[in-house]
A and B are shown apart, each in its own frame.
Chain A
């Protein structure tokens, strides 16, 4: 009964978060004096073919089409009912693509790169951090974490550019950008998969170099606390071997708060994507969001921001239910 109530409460909270986030995202682009439609057609007009009077007519017609001539409140109601159906309508800038179409085309690229690198960084960083804090680990192994901590100080933009310049441009080891080689048509073959993987290596490295150090530092701090705990000492008094103490008594306890950090890190996936995807000319949510912001294409902005919000809020709620599985102390409460 208590568990059921907890689930209901968390679910209500989730809805509240999504509602507030969608309301805020609705309001903010409306403060902008710019109009995506006007800008798009002004651009077309510069290339010729429209008289100024026609242009105004077209813009008015388009605004009616998108419901932009209705009172703001009416637009908000329409928007919220769209949110409920996960329907964000059409892109203003890339009409007639729908927002959902654009997102679902971009998402696999972003998830493929960012999910893999976030998980890899988490695993590498926490292991290195745990080892760095473990007094019995060999000195050279403990030192492996240090360069990663130093690399954290390099902004991802600079790291991406440096990698591109040295590995891609000077050494010509890896491609300079894009998701696959120019002229290749995406298909399900090993050759294409290999080509794609080669294009992902540099952005992946830039992301991993940028985030491993953070995990190292937080894990190292956690590790130093845990290794002083009585149960780690008692494990040694029990005559356990070093590997068991490290894994079952030290690492397992030190990892608990890191798991929460991991869920939060997943939420920043899209923000990191904006920078990396634009440096490496990769298709993905980051590039999509950047284009949308540049052209004030607010249906797309709504779609992406809401997508991020829903993902993070859902992950947080999911964490509440995963956490008791890894920490028995939470189970009873």
Chain B
């Protein structure tokens, strides 16, 4: 136990302990000890620090956290799309039985969309304005399936459009002829073209009105069931998350501080930051009694020693300022990164 707390590098035994969830089928996605650093002029910013989690087919994980907590960096790192000055320093991303971090550039290119798909915040600008929607679907398929017949590619695109409830005529249209919600659904259709095992949706509903948000989320929900993919939903909107995901992961300063089921997260959050996050949400039962979290998120360039959250934490102990807490799995199967639970693990 002690050695684990003190060791700087996570041990493989701990990682495998995390992967082996008490119940559930074989995971399709295993993220292990992922670490990303941005080498800026002002210094090194560790945007992802020792992030590990697993997802099974059909499972939906919501990823929440303040801006700059590393949500989008995590998505980019999983796609291996971190651009300089950023770099993936350590860790593995395993989809099915392919280790993405071990692939060469061309194999990684082919893995994108076919194994792991990314749905951007597409309402505004994610579609090429001078290409027809169809052309942007066809080129995606073609770049992965050499020698696929034209009619088969056409069928695949038509099916994807139908899955997201879009008319077949959208195939011949341009992005500017579509509404925000339609554009977002086109992005989802592109994401599911090759039936990926993992779909990452990065704030798919921001910049959409609430009615359209719900439609888009229902679309993601439906296509996810159809192809039985694991979904990672990145966003700020806890309310929307609560309705659609199975598990919620809370990020803070590049670390995963808690991973719990939706029910557990909203009724009994463990990590003090997660608790503060939940109590900052408006609630119908006790109107007006919600609080913010004091202080500001720390700069990644000057992280506090020990636990990055301790200066804002109401439960901070001496150890929090000196020792970095390890990721622990509680007896319930929940994952928490906090010294408060050193005994429970």
Are A and B interaction partners? yes
Contact status B143-A253, CB under 8 Å: no
Contact status B112-A237, CB under 8 Å: yes
Contact status B122-A234, CB under 8 Å: yes
Given B117, B120, B130, B143, which contacts A233 in the complex, CB threshold below 8 Å? B120
For the complex, what is the distance from the CA of A252 to the CA of B122, rounded to whole Å? 20
Given B110, B120, B127, B176, which contacts A237 in the complex, CB threshold below 8 Å? B120
Contact status A241-B143, CB under 8 Å: yes
Contact status A240-B125, CB under 8 Å: no
Please, which residue of chain A has its CB at the minimum distance from the CB of B120? A234
Most chain A C-beta atoms within 10 Å of own C-beta, residue among B111, B118, B124: B118
Contact status A236-B130, CB under 8 Å: no
A239 in contact (CB, < 8 A):
yes
Please, which residue of chain B has its CB at the minimum distance from the CB of A256? B130
B226 in contact (CB, < 8 A):
no
Contact status B114-A239, CB under 8 Å: yes
| A225, chain B: closest CB distance, angstroms | 12
| A305, chain B: closest CB distance, angstroms | 37
Contact status B112-A238, CB under 8 Å: yes
- A201-235 interface code vs B (CB 8 A; 1 in, 0 out): 00000000000000000000000000001110111
B126 in contact (CB, < 8 A):
yes
| A226, chain B: closest CB distance, angstroms | 10
Please, which residue of chain A has its CB at the minimum distance from the CB of B194? A239
For the complex, what is the distance from the CA of A303 to the CA of B120, rounded to whole Å? 57
| Chain B interface bracket (under 10, 10 to 19, 20 to 34, 35 or more) | 20 to 34
B144 in contact (CB, < 8 A):
yes
A8 in contact (CB, < 8 A):
no
Given A234-B122, A237-B79, A238-B190, A248:B113 Cβ within 8 A? no
For the complex, what is the distance from the CA of A248 to the CA of B120, rounded to whole Å? 19
| B143, chain A: closest CB distance, angstroms | 5
- A289-333 interface code vs B (CB 8 A; 1 in, 0 out): 000000000000000000000000000000000000011110010
Please, which residue of chain B has its CB at the minimum distance from the CB of A238? B140
Contact status A231-B125, CB under 8 Å: yes
- B139-165 interface code vs A (CB 8 A; 1 in, 0 out): 110011000000000000000000000
Give the residues in chain B near A241, CB-CB below 8 Å. 109, 143
B128 in contact (CB, < 8 A):
yes
- A239-250 interface code vs B (CB 8 A; 1 in, 0 out): 111001000110
Contact status A240-B139, CB under 8 Å: yes
For the complex, what is the distance from the CA of A233 to the CA of B124, rounded to whole Å? 13
Give the residues in chain B near A326, CB-CB below 8 Å. 130
Given A230-B124, A231-B125, A329-B174, A239:B143 Cβ within 8 A? yes
Contact status B129-A253, CB under 8 Å: yes
For the complex, what is the distance from the CA of A233 to the CA of B82, rounded to whole Å? 11
| B293, chain A: closest CB distance, angstroms | 31
| A67, chain B: closest CB distance, angstroms | 54
Contact status A230-B122, CB under 8 Å: yes
Q: Which of B81-133 contact A (CB under 8 A)?
A: 81, 83, 109-114, 117-118, 120-122, 124-132
| B287, chain A: closest CB distance, angstroms | 39
Contact status A328-B139, CB under 8 Å: no
B187 in contact (CB, < 8 A):
yes
Given A231-B129, A253-B130, A239:B81 Cβ within 8 A? no
Give the residues in chain B near A327, CB-CB below 8 Å. 129-130
Give the residues in chain B near A237, CB-CB below 8 Å. 79, 81, 112-113, 117-118, 120
Given A237-B79, A238-B113, A230:B130 Cβ within 8 A? no
| A82, chain B: closest CB distance, angstroms | 45
| B134, chain A: closest CB distance, angstroms | 13
Please, which residue of chain B has its CB at the minimum distance from the CB of A229? B125
For the complex, what is the distance from the CA of A69 to the CA of B12, rounded to whole Å? 103
For the complex, what is the distance from the CA of A332 to the CA of B173, rounded to whole Å? 12
Give the residues in chain A near B122, CB-CB below 8 Å. 230, 234
Please, which residue of chain A has its CB at the minimum distance from the CB of B141? A238
Given A239-B109, A241-B109, A249-B128, A230:B120 Cβ within 8 A? yes
Give the residues in chain A near B117, CB-CB below 8 Å. 237
For the complex, what is the distance from the CA of A238 to the CA of B190, rounded to whole Å? 8
Please, which residue of chain A has its CB at the minimum distance from the CB of B117? A237
Give the residues in chain B near A244, CB-CB below 8 Å. 139, 143
For the complex, what is the distance from the CA of A256 to the CA of B129, rounded to whole Å? 11
For the complex, what is the distance from the CA of A240 to the CA of B129, rounded to whole Å? 17
Contact status A329-B143, CB under 8 Å: no
For the complex, what is the distance from the CA of A135 to the CA of B86, rounded to whole Å? 14
Give the residues in chain A near B83, CB-CB below 8 Å. 135
Contact status B130-A234, CB under 8 Å: no
For the complex, what is the distance from the CA of A238 to the CA of B160, rounded to whole Å? 15
| A322, chain B: closest CB distance, angstroms | 14
Given A239-B113, A329-B176, A234:B187 Cβ within 8 A? yes
Given B79, B127, B143, which contacts A231 in the complex, CB threshold below 8 Å? B127
Give the residues in chain B near A249, CB-CB below 8 Å. 128, 131
Most chain B C-beta atoms within 10 Å of own C-beta, residue among A237, A244, A256: A237
Given A244-B139, A329-B174, A239:B128 Cβ within 8 A? no
Please, which residue of chain B has its CB at the minimum distance from the CB of A331? B174
Give the residues in chain A near B144, CB-CB below 8 Å. 239
Give the residues in chain B near A230, CB-CB below 8 Å. 120-122, 124-126
Contact status B130-A328, CB under 8 Å: yes
Report 28 cross-chain contacts, Cβ distance below 8 Å, ordered by A residue.
Answer: A230-B120, A230-B125, A231-B125, A231-B126, A231-B128, A233-B81, A234-B122, A234-B187, A237-B81, A237-B112, A238-B143, A238-B190, A239-B140, A240-B139, A240-B140, A244-B143, A252-B131, A253-B128, A253-B129, A253-B130, A256-B130, A327-B129, A328-B129, A328-B130, A328-B132, A329-B129, A329-B130, A329-B174
Which B residues contact A (CB, under 8 angstroms)?
79, 81, 83, 109-114, 117-118, 120-122, 124-132, 139-140, 143-144, 174, 176-177, 187, 190
New contact pairs (20) apart from A234-B127, A239-B143, CB-CB < 8 Å: A230-B122, A231-B129, A234-B120, A236-B81, A237-B79, A237-B117, A237-B118, A238-B113, A238-B139, A238-B143, A238-B190, A239-B109, A239-B112, A240-B139, A248-B128, A253-B130, A327-B130, A328-B130, A328-B176, A332-B176
**Shortest beta-carbon contacts, A-B, top 7:** A239-B112, A237-B118, A230-B125, A238-B140, A239-B113, A230-B126, A234-B126
